[in-house]
Structure 1
Amino acid sequence: MLKFQDKIALITGSGTGIGLAIAKKFVENGASVIILGRREGPLKDASAQLEQRIPQGSGAKITIFSGVDVADETAINNMFDSLKNDNITVDYIINNAGVSGPVTCFANAPLDEFKSTIGIHLTGTFWGSVQALKVMKEGGKIITISTFFTEERPLEQRPYRFRSPYTASQGAKNRLAEAMSWELTDKGIISIATNPGPVHSDRIYKTVYPKAASEFMRVSGFEDLTPIEVEEAKDDLLECIQADGIDTEGIAKTAEKLANGKDVTKLTETFTRLLEQIQKLAGKIQNNTSHMIANQEFLSQSQVAESVLNLCDDEIAKIINGKVIPGDRVFYPVKSYIGNVTPGVHQPDFGGKAIVFTVDATDKADADRVEFLAGHVEKNGGKVACFISESTPKELQEQISSKFHAHVVDIKNPDEVEKWLNTAKTNIGDILAVIHVTGKLPEMSKLTELDRASWEALTEKFISTPATVAQRTLEQFVPGGSKDPRLFKDAKGKIMII
């Protein structure tokens, strides 16, 4: 009997790429698979490939749910309700669906795209896992695929440059997988996360690396092109990269479209050199990454799939339940963070400087913390303004407002945040720092028992709102810096998120 015969695996984002590779491995090992995604075409193609791999006599079946976006609450609910109504038990949930998200500096990442990336990676994983409990039983396994750029290790730093919403949501997915392992023990369901390293895929070669390279070009500008001009051209130019070279006609059309009074011929030549530089830099990024791996080889999609199936093994899963399994093999050597000299302690002098607190307090301890910190600033000569969220309880709003200059504002709204930061600068002077206090985690029994609205309130409180405040603060410190990163040179300011 095949290892996964008579088992059922549901894989999100399984029409192409790693998701399809995982589905193939399950089918080859006798399992029935449920594949889903937003586009019907790739799912039908995937189903045809999977049908050809079904071992004779295994009884394996392929089920398709098309038009299912993992971020869509209704679509996910309907899919699992349908499975439940058909008395189908799912043995393995593989949270694989994902998107690249905006590949740009944090200051330049559109907030709607930031939130959309969080919605697909993090909320999609959460809600899909919670709804899956309707059709799972003891012994079931939830495997969450994350990224190698989310883990902190001794002597390493792992920021995924230009991928802030992607990295934020993936790091949160790891913590979610750990939390679910604790919360689902009474149901006998196991939760594990795995972080594949760089994987051979069209998306990374054709999308991620070229976009990252074009963002490097945007940051500094290219020849006589400003960052804004590079930004306007880069998406069209990336479309001109072909398997057999560069689409020169496409470059010329881009130059004609964006000339705005410039010499089209010269602009075409500049755009051609820009695209050649983007290609060269994309290759360098790939090469540098590969040299941080012992054998300098990226993983194949099949190897990732093999890893996932190993995590679904009953005995292995019991041993590593709740763990985040690194599969990346990538090492980023950096200087140690550990100092050998104790830093000196001195009384700060905030004389003439303004410090803004944006406060999303949950309970009195949060308000007390703000009161202590703001009092410390004033005691040392600084000026304080507190912008308190509308969701902060009234008594806490009053506690803070009674002691400091304060306003209750909609800190979820970027325009409101920008307006009040400008007001603070006008009324109390240049802003030295903005300190955002998220507040404590609200009281709850289990994450996996939250309804969708409560979950989204958490992601708003701990991810989207801090991102909104931080992004608008950057604009306050460096007006226009999101569009022209050169302006950040020699700029000063501090952002703290507590």
Structure 2
Amino acid sequence: MGDLAGKTALITGSGTGIGLAIAKGMAGRGASVVILGRRREPLEAAARDLEAIAAGAGDGGRVRMFPGVDVADAGAVTAMFGELERDGATVDILVNNAGVSGPVTCFANASEGDFESAVAIHLTGTFWTSAQALRVMRKGGIIVTITTFFAEERPLEQRPYRFRTPYTAAQGAKNRLAEALSVELVDSGIVSVATNPGPVHSDRIYKTVYPKAAAEFMRVGGFGEMSPRDVERACAILLPALGEGDEAAAAAAQKAAGEVGGDAAAMSSLLQKVSHVAEKIQKNTAGMIADGQFLSQDQVALTVMALCEPRLAATINGKVIPGDRVFYPVRPHVAGPAPRGPCGGLGGKAVVIVVGAADEGGCAAAAALGRRAEERGGKAVMVIDAGVPEGLRTGLEAFHSHVADTKKAEEIARWLAAASSMAGGIAGVAHVTGAVPAGTRLCSLDREGWDALVERFLCGPARTARAAMEAMVPGGGADPRLYRGAGGAVIIVGPPLPSGKRPPRDEVARAEVFRGALRPLAATANQELADVLGSKMRLLLALPGSAGGAEPDHSRVADVLDHALSGGAAASSEVIFCTDEARA
């Protein structure tokens, strides 16, 4: 009898790839498996294979299939678990595996829709699937969340993943979400763990991620006389032909020449160059692995199944287990308080502060930034989200201020343009999130409540940052050459850690979900700005509060603004500042 006989495992994204490998491993060890995904055909093929494996195991395991279930679709996920609940089913193991490559481009060039779609699948899909699964899970249940080695964090270290900002931000949050769930589910007897696989042999990485990354290098670096936008358009036509043979490549080159302009020979050369760069990316990544080999899908499945052993899972509850084998050298990105030094005058230029905070502390941090900007000879402009309570706006209305719907990128862009026109330019832009509301038990949230948190603490700051970059380098998204040598400062003031002598562990864990999203966002965006685009612009992240529960000192948040505007930030790899982590 297999060690999983009598148990049921539900694996998201299980029609192909890693998810299918995990499902096969579970079925081979006696478990019944529930598979789901967006496309029916792969699921039907997977179900046939799994039924044969289950029959061979001889433990009575069954296979159940839910086609058309996209984890980003709240209704589909809710309906699936509703059906399982009505049938009296119990899920003993949940594996959060579903994902997509998402956009592979510089943060400055990523569309808002692509960013939010990737977050919806990777982060929100994981949260909502986990929350709904609790309806059919019991004591002894195990939740395993699969993330990425690029989101693994060590003290003072981040692993930027160039061209993959929404992906790595969502994955970083998933790591911290696994920790938060472990704290919240203790009384339920349900364990939550995560694992960070390294590069895995798969069509996604060979046919999508690496070729798209190579195409982005070509868009930024240039190819012949083609404009960056034309390179992008051509690559969108050419990339599907990679690995499909000479005839397909020639047809794609002919089509690209007809739609973009130029001749087919030039397009063939572009495709060959993209292929060469993609192979180089793969080779360089393999060079950071001891044996030079990517993981197989079965190796990832083996790790996941090991984490499903009840005694081991209970021992490591709440931990994120590395599974990458990658020796990835990185610069130090995380520091304590920002260095204090001379900051030149702003000459009347605007510092625009977008206030998404709905709490007193966040508004106080925004006011501190405004005062510092005006002390430096700048013009502070507050763009206050309409959701900020009127009673909290009083201290902000002393500055030049506007109330706006900051969920709309065009609204932010409009006020940035107005501020630039009024003040003769923008020196910097800040976005203040405020604190994660106390008592917000994640597992008890409805979908609207969760989406509001993701908007406020991840998508909202990202929207402001992209709008700020475009405002300070007009047209830079479409033409990355404009970023070279260009300056500017973007600051995100993320949620503080809870204060008090012994901050509740669950409150700390919930704040870390979104701090854990913003850290890789900042690290990745800055790697692109500095190393790819050759820009002096920096996107800095200020994280107030301390592990010891100190009350945030808002003047230290303002120090990050000074540092950003002094020019020192452009020469430093440190882009994330834990503003209150200082000894007295």
* TM-score of Structure 1 vs Structure 2, range by shorter chain: over 0.9
Whichever residue aligns with residue 111 of structure 2, its letter is P
1:10-52 Cα offsets, whole Å, 9 max, x none, are 0000000000000000011110100001111000000111112
Give 1:481's match in structure 2, choosing from 469, 476, 481. Answer: 476
1:382 aligns with 2:378: yes
C-alpha displacement at 1:333, in angstroms? 1.9
User: What's the TM-score once normalised by structure 2's chain length?
Assistant: 0.82
Residue 57 of structure 1 aligns with which residue? 58
1:409-436 Cα offsets, whole Å, 9 max, x none, are 1111111111100000111221111011
Residue 255 of structure 1 aligns with which residue? 257
C-alpha displacement at 1:176, in angstroms? 0.6
Residue 78 of structure 2 aligns with which residue? 77
Distance in 2 separating the partners of 1:354 and 1:249? 51
Which SS does the other structure have where 1:239 is aligned? helix
1:321 aligns with 2:317: yes
C-alpha displacement at 1:336, in angstroms? 5.0
8 A Cα contact 2:158 2:332, kept in partner: no
Distance in 1 separating the partners of 2:333 and 2:475? 33
1:305 aligns with 2:301: yes
Structural RMSD (CA): 1.6
Which SS does the other structure have where 1:118 is aligned? helix
8 A Cα contact 1:10 1:93, kept in partner: yes
Which SS does the other structure have where 2:192 is aligned? strand
1:430 aligns with 2:430: no
Identity within the alignment, %: 52
Residue 43 of structure 1 aligns with which residue? 43
1:296-353 Cα offsets, whole Å, 9 max, x none, are 11100000000000000011101110001110111122455699xx966336533333
Residue 270 of structure 2 aligns with which residue? 274
C-alpha displacement at 1:239, in angstroms? 1.7
8 A Cα contact 2:29 2:57, kept in partner: no
Distance in 2 separating the partners of 1:233 and 1:58? 53
Between 1:28-37 and 1:365-374, the stretch displaced more is 365-374
Between 1:363-372 and 1:150-159, the stretch displaced more is 150-159
Distance in 2 separating the partners of 1:327 and 1:62? 28
Whichever residue aligns with residue 230 of structure 1, its letter is V
1:360-393 Cα offsets, whole Å, 9 max, x none, are 1221122222222211221232211110000111
Distance in 1 separating the partners of 2:197 and 2:365? 39
Distance in 2 separating the partners of 1:30 and 1:220? 53
Whichever residue aligns with residue 363 of structure 1, its letter is D
1:203-224 Cα offsets, whole Å, 9 max, x none, are 1101110011001001122011
Distance in 2 separating the partners of 1:131 and 1:36? 15
Residue 225 of structure 1 aligns with which residue? 226
Residue 443 of structure 2 aligns with which residue? 448
1:285 aligns with 2:281: yes
Distance in 2 separating the partners of 1:397 and 1:409? 13
C-alpha displacement at 1:53, in angstroms? 1.2
Whichever residue aligns with residue 474 of structure 1, its letter is M
Change (3 A) 1:494 1:255: same
1:133 aligns with 2:134: yes
C-alpha displacement at 1:241, in angstroms? 1.5
The residue correspondences of 1:359-438 to structure 2 (distance < 5 A) are 359-401=355-397, 403-438=398-433
Change (3 A) 1:11 1:458: same
C-alpha displacement at 1:254, in angstroms? 2.0
C-alpha displacement at 1:154, in angstroms? 5.2
User: What's the TM-score once normalised by structure 1's chain length?
Assistant: 0.95
Distance in 2 separating the partners of 1:398 and 1:473? 25
Unaligned stretches of 5+ residues in structure 2: 494-584
Whichever residue aligns with residue 462 of structure 2, its letter is A
C-alpha displacement at 1:354, in angstroms? 1.8
Distance in 1 separating the partners of 2:184 and 2:27? 30
Whichever residue aligns with residue 178 of structure 1, its letter is E
Residue 11 of structure 1 aligns with which residue? 11
Whichever residue aligns with residue 173 of structure 1, its letter is K
Distance in 2 separating the partners of 1:477 and 1:253? 36
8 A Cα contact 1:361 1:392, kept in partner: yes
Moved over 6 A (4+): none
8 A Cα contact 1:155 1:334, kept in partner: no
8 A Cα contact 1:155 1:335, kept in partner: no
Whichever residue aligns with residue 9 of structure 2, its letter is A
Residue 211 of structure 2 aligns with which residue? 210
Residue 237 of structure 1 aligns with which residue? 238
- Give the total of aligned pairs: 489
Whichever residue aligns with residue 29 of structure 2, its letter is N
1:72-99 Cα offsets, whole Å, 9 max, x none, are 1111111111111111110000000001
Residue 147 of structure 2 aligns with which residue? 146
Give 2:490's match in structure 1, choosing from 474, 477, 495. Answer: 495
